[in-house]
Structure 1
Amino acid sequence: MQKIKTALLSYGMSGKVFHAPFLNFHPGFELIGSWERSKKLIHQDYPSVKSYATMEELLEDDVDLVVVNTPVNTHYEYAKKVLLAGKHALVEKAFTTTVAQAQELAALAKEKGLKLAVFQNRRWDSDFKTVQKIISDNVLGEIVEAEFHFDRYNPILSPKQHKETANSGAGILKDLGPHLIDQALCLFGLPQSVFADIRITREHSLVDDYIDILLYYSNFRVRLKAGFFVREAIPSFVVHGKKGSFLKARGDVQEDDLKLGKKPNLDTWGKEAKSKEGILHTEINNDVLIENIPTLQGNYYDFFDGVYNSITQDAIEPVTALDGVHVMQIIEAAIQSSAQKKVIDL
């Protein structure tokens, strides 16, 4: 099996929790090392890999794929350097800070004949996969509206300065927003227009921490919300159709398990508790039914498998640069809408 030699641009939470475990587990990847500026931590988990002192040292090494998992406002600069060095790139969300940057990276990757994927791992969450199947099975009839939430209760500012210092990549719109937006676009495609309310709600916060985005489609609407003052969460996925409704709590266990140091597998990984099952209330063949729907298994391994196939078999990336461009288009429209207090046509 061909090995894709892969390096990380940082070994903080993202590298340690979301990337390294799957790169180490998947037989098609070889984790070469990580750029580490001050704290040298990767050797504690992977003693045989390299700790690069500089990005230049990493890019000069025999590396095929580079994971750009640094703060959002560095994604464009670093991803461009990776592509210019002739390496494939996997870029964390948010893909960039502007549409123009996203489009430039997409064009550069195409020009160089390189693969460029965006790490929208939440498409492989158990809860979202279940919602996706309900919609594809058409058991709700014609969709009228959907509402997706990524809610938390956390009024305390993050200790990570890049998240709380006002910069082009900070704020909930470019942190949790890309998850919600990508999931909506994955299900429904690009909307016709966007309306948004973007606010600061935490004391002393310098960055946005509340978003309410309304996507206008021809016959239905999709609302996306995220904030830090939701102590009692409502269902994170609510979909209403002309025949019925589906409600599902956010229940994917992968992030929590990875933070506990659990190692991914292909059998039991990503299975939600039965108590998190969604509720389907609909009409099928003139019979009204209300039932719990078993949750599909989630597994971020499938995303990395898609990246592997894109490089070794020239398949389409599991989340393409164009997908990243589309998310940035919604983000830019949301910023404009909130500032002008009006609907923005795409």
Structure 2
Amino acid sequence: MADPARIGLVGYGKGGRYFHAPLLANAPGCELAGAVTRSTERRAELACDFPGVPAYDSLADLVESGVDAVAITTPLDTHLDLVHEAIRLGVPTVCDKPFAPDAATAREAVEAAERAGVLLSVYQNRRWDADFLTVARLVDSGELGTVARFESRMEQYRPEGGFTPVSGGLLRDFGSHVVDQAMRLFGPVSSVYAEKNALPGTDELDTWFFSALRHRNGITTHVWGDLDLQGGRGWRFRVTGSGGTLAMADDDGQSEQLLAGRSPATEGETWGSVPQQRWGRLYRAGIEETVPSEQGDWMRFYAGLAAAVRGDAGVPVDPWDSVAVLEVLDAARTSSTTGQVVGLPR
């Protein structure tokens, strides 16, 4: 067996602690090699969560310790400075999403990595959700026939007073996932129409958005993001084609389990699995069928990263995919302001 890829985290806040460290520590071919945090509280949490894993004061110190790659998990407004520093240090780099505040600055970072010959990827972990993998299976296999309508809703219940501003607003945050998934299925986008709004007391950061994406292949996809005060969540995906309509419930619980302190280490082979009562439904001419769910597994991103670091595979997420997503999100912000459909260049 090859030695595991030693990967360090930059940041040990909510993202690093809950959505990266437990997966990285358990992903095949990976080792959690350290974390950059100066906070006394965060260092205590790291020592409790992963005894023996060292903390570092800076990205430079982490790289000097001999890591094979770094994962940047800090807030959005720090991403690009850290990405460019990692590129200058010559270390393979993962950046959490949203990758950048806009497409132009993301493009500069990807081009800098290419000039330096440094591996760069973006943590689009929702490509490995059970619900999305199941939708992709039915779309790609042709079981739904010719797709006529695709609807994707990413909603999270937030009780009154429980709102925490997300990275750059919900369009950048949830939008990075739902647009990436739509483009994985149906390819590049040619035009965008969007609406968004914000709740009082949220510093005008959007907490709801809707976007209609016209793909170059002629398919239109509808995507939503919502921090819901009422808890009235609906279907995660609804896809209608000439061969049937597929309705999928929300994701496989990886997010909720990680936030509750559970992980692949505690759940074993059941990690990312979906109970049968939550499987999707396929409707054909009024007849309902149950659709067995794929098993989700966000660890596959880091297993893929380890393979890329060893030179055995390409990066698990091409950073140019994230630039393309940000071009769509930039157009959506313009559309929501002007009320017009915004075209994207080829």
TM-score above 0.5: yes
Per the normalisation by structure 1, the TM-score is 0.91
Shift of residue 22, structure 1, vs aligned partner: 2.1
Listed one character per residue, the Cα deviations across residues 55-75 of structure 1 (whole Å, up to 9, x for unaligned) are: 332233312211110001111
Q: Is the 8 A contact 2:182 2:221 kept in 1?
A: yes
Q: Cα 1:54–1:131, aligned 2, differ >3 Å: closer, same or farther?
A: same
Q: How many angstroms apart in 1 are the aligned matches of 2:249 and 2:201? A: 31
Q: Cα 1:57–1:185, aligned 2, differ >3 Å: closer, same or farther?
A: same
What amino acid is aligned across from residue 283 of structure 2 in structure 1? H
Q: Is the 8 A contact 1:139 1:282 kept in 2?
A: no
The aligned counterpart of 1:127 is 131
What amino acid is aligned across from residue 17 of structure 1 in structure 2? Y
Let me know the Cα RMSD of the aligned residues: 1.8
Q: 1:68 aligns with which of 65, 69, 72?
A: 72
The 5-angstrom pairing of residues 158-307 of structure 1 reads: 163=165, 169-200=167-198, 202-206=199-203, 207-217=205-215, 218-229=217-228, 231-264=231-264, 267-282=269-284, 289-307=287-305
Q: Cα 1:5–1:180, aligned 2, differ >3 Å: closer, same or farther?
A: same
What amino acid is aligned across from residue 231 of structure 2 in structure 1? R
Listed one character per residue, the Cα deviations across residues 306-333 of structure 1 (whole Å, up to 9, x for unaligned) are: 1111111252211111111011111101
Shift of residue 27, structure 1, vs aligned partner: 4.5
Listed one character per residue, the Cα deviations across residues 93-137 of structure 1 (whole Å, up to 9, x for unaligned) are: 001111111111111222222211111111111111111111112
Deviates more, 1:316-325 or 1:226-235: 226-235
Q: Cα 1:133–1:321, aligned 2, differ >3 Å: closer, same or farther?
A: same
Structure 1 residue matching 2:67: 3-state secondary structure: coil
The aligned counterpart of 1:144 is 148
Structure 2 residue matching 1:267: 3-state secondary structure: helix
Listed one character per residue, the Cα deviations across residues 156-208 of structure 1 (whole Å, up to 9, x for unaligned) are: 45675xx36xxxx52101111111111111111112101110211x2212111
In structure 2, runs of 5+ residues without a counterpart are none
Percent of aligned pairs with the same residue?
31
Q: Cα 1:321–1:158, aligned 2, differ >3 Å: closer, same or farther?
A: farther
Q: Cα 1:191–1:157, aligned 2, differ >3 Å: closer, same or farther?
A: farther
Q: 1:112 aligns with which of 116, 123, 126?
A: 116
Q: Is the 8 A contact 2:101 2:168 kept in 1?
A: no
Q: 1:338 aligns with which of 292, 315, 336?
A: 336
Q: Is the 8 A contact 1:279 1:290 kept in 2?
A: yes
Q: Is the 8 A contact 1:146 1:237 kept in 2?
A: yes
The aligned counterpart of 1:95 is 99
Q: How many angstroms apart in 2 are the aligned matches of 1:233 and 1:24? A: 32
The 5-angstrom pairing of residues 39-58 of structure 1 reads: 39=41, 40=43, 41-58=45-62
Q: Is the 8 A contact 2:212 2:222 kept in 1?
A: yes
The aligned counterpart of 1:29 is 30
Q: Is the 8 A contact 1:197 1:211 kept in 2?
A: yes
Q: Cα 1:101–1:314, aligned 2, differ >3 Å: closer, same or farther?
A: farther
Per the normalisation by structure 2, the TM-score is 0.91
Q: How many angstroms apart in 2 are the aligned matches of 1:126 and 1:271? A: 7
Deviates more, 1:145-154 or 1:217-226: 217-226
Deviates more, 1:57-66 or 1:9-18: 57-66
Q: How many angstroms apart in 1 are the aligned matches of 2:207 and 2:342? A: 21
What amino acid is aligned across from residue 271 of structure 2 in structure 1? W
What amino acid is aligned across from residue 279 of structure 1 in structure 2? R
What amino acid is aligned across from residue 320 of structure 1 in structure 2? D
Q: Cα 1:70–1:342, aligned 2, differ >3 Å: closer, same or farther?
A: same
Q: How many angstroms apart in 2 are the aligned matches of 1:118 and 1:271? A: 24
Deviates more, 1:251-260 or 1:170-179: 251-260
Deviates more, 1:48-57 or 1:134-143: 48-57
What amino acid is aligned across from residue 334 of structure 1 in structure 2? A
Q: How many angstroms apart in 2 are the aligned matches of 1:152 and 1:5? A: 34
Q: Cα 1:157–1:113, aligned 2, differ >3 Å: closer, same or farther?
A: farther
Q: 1:329 aligns with which of 327, 330, 343?
A: 327
Q: How many angstroms apart in 1 are the aligned matches of 2:327 and 2:101? A: 10
Structure 1 residue matching 2:110: 3-state secondary structure: helix
Shift of residue 6, structure 1, vs aligned partner: 1.3
In structure 1, runs of 5+ residues without a counterpart are none
Q: Is the 8 A contact 2:10 2:36 kept in 1?
A: yes
